[in-house]
Chains A and B, each alone.
Chain A
């Protein structure tokens, strides 16, 4: 079971979170929307699997490289 950490690609603010802990996601599913430089960046799941942990909530500010979510890959 490989774990994938989804990192914030830029410093900014979390606008919306689209997943919940424990729920399944498919590769390419939207995890959250991050606002940086007045632009909305859709963050998508790199792999399909289960959301093991969420490290963000709407309105939170993040730095580049901060972990946003951990996804446990499963087929």
Chain B
């Protein structure tokens, strides 16, 4: 007993050893393979710190426990991140092409499709896995491809799988360039992918850009009030950017604040991954469902894209629908790459960015809608 208190090595269970290996793997992926290093390295280190025996970081008063209580349980971290994200995003590409908003909305189908599947496998049907109604919604939200929204919804609904869901959401965002192209090629024809779209778009005025965040808060807030914290912080950040008189604050939100909160958020999320909660069959299943969520969202965006292609008289390239899931700007880049492959003159980047930023708003609205609807069914 005495040795156990002093020497952690005697208290090391095989489960904790597996978690230490997993933390090492995340750090390896981040540094050697450059898979979302900004997140995976802090998360990986959080996992290691939480699973070194007798370190006490996750016990009451320990660093990771304090951070979790202050930043995750209160929703503070994801909301602060959203101020930074809002300041980073140029919604011009969306405002210049308002029709892309529908592509962003369509791609949220991944959330609902995956929710039904998770609920059916869990408490709503087969009972193969321990997925309650609220867990199923939280798993579906992985399909929003939006890290802060995933954290927000999963913790608001009190899902016991929050860490697994968050890590799945972030790791699949990094894997977008691998997950999306095969689906894009399968659902579109060569002729569709070759279609180039006009480079010039209607310019939007500064007044529109300034009014946009304010109007969006009011419209979304009045329709889906539970989304107000998310859309409010996102659009506040965007107002800092678009006001053009708050350059200092806008830069601080994008850089200093976003970076500091990312460090704390990564460590804390990693610190939530302790062997007891993480090493179970459900975790693996959540990873599987995460791919399903991303694939369904991509497919739904592409299918609406094909509808728009036909309805527009073949002027809209259906590929941009794949950018409707909100992993920004990864999805827009993937669309650009796949379009360019089919036709070296075809630069879809800005069109895809329109759908991509629309997806960012749509995923917040979908998250808010899920929070509103959940209590009625659970």
Contacts and interface: CB of A to CB of B under 8 A. Distances in A.
Interface centre among B199, B201, B353 (most CB of A within 10 A): B199
Interface string A53-75: 00000000000110000000000
B349 A36 contact: yes
A10 B350 contact: yes
A10 B347 contact: yes
B345 A7 contact: no
Nearest to A8: B199
B350 to A, nearest CB: 5
Nearest to B201: A64
Contacts of B336: 39, 41
A37 B199 CA distance: 15
Interface string A35-56: 0111101111010000000000
B333 A9 contact: no
A22 interface: no
Interface centre among B200, B329, B332, B347 (most CB of A within 10 A): B347
B313 interface: no
A5 B340 CA distance: 19
Given A9-B199, A64-B200, A65-B200, A41 B329 contact: no
A9 to B, nearest CB: 3
Interface of A: 7-11, 28, 36-39, 41-44, 46, 64-65
Interface of B: 199-201, 329, 332-333, 336, 340, 344-345, 347, 349-350, 353
